[in-house]
Amino acid sequence: MWKCPKCGRSFSREGQGHYCGKIETIDQYIEEQDESVRAYLNEVRKIIRSAIPEAQEKISWSMPTYWKGQNLIHFAASKKHLGLYPGGEQPRFLLRNWRIMM
């Protein structure tokens, strides 16, 4: 077992990635990520917001989430990639608005 020296939570893997404390907003989530990925996270956020402006932004499952009666889509930063996680069948809206991010 490994215990985080900041928050004291225990994990089975040494150096397990996690959030110390509670993330309340998407702005806070992005700000706490490595500077090298913040621009990408902001671009994903911009695309999702333009595709579904009526969706509510919130944090769910410790990830930025867009909600409209149900979780529509989440996104998150990992060590070596960004992930998009559908909350149901709704992520088709992204196909109309997605751009390659490099």
Average pLDDT over the chain, rounded to whole?
Answer: 85
pLDDT tens for the 102 residues of the chain, in order: 999 988 888 999 888 877 777 889 999 999 989 999 999 999 999 999 998 999 999 999 889 999 998 889 999 998 889 999 988 655 555 555 555 443
Residue whose C-alpha is closest to residue 82's, from 36, 51, 50 = 36
Structural domain spans, the chain: 22-97
Q: What is the DSSP string of the chain?
A: -EE-TTT--EESSTT----SS---SHHHHHHTS-HHHHHHHHHHHHHHHHH-TTSEEEEETTEEEEESSSEEEEEEE-SS-EEEEESSSGGGHHHHH-----
Whole-angstrom Cα distance, residue 15 to residue 73?
28
The pLDDT score that the predictor gives to residue 27 is: 97
CATH class of 22-97: alpha beta
The pLDDT score that the predictor gives to residue 93 is: 54
Q: What is the pLDDT of residues 60-81, one digit of tens each?
A: 988 999 999 888 999 999 888 9
**Cα torsion angle, 79, 56, 94, 91, sign:** positive
Q: Amino acid identity, residue 65?
A: T
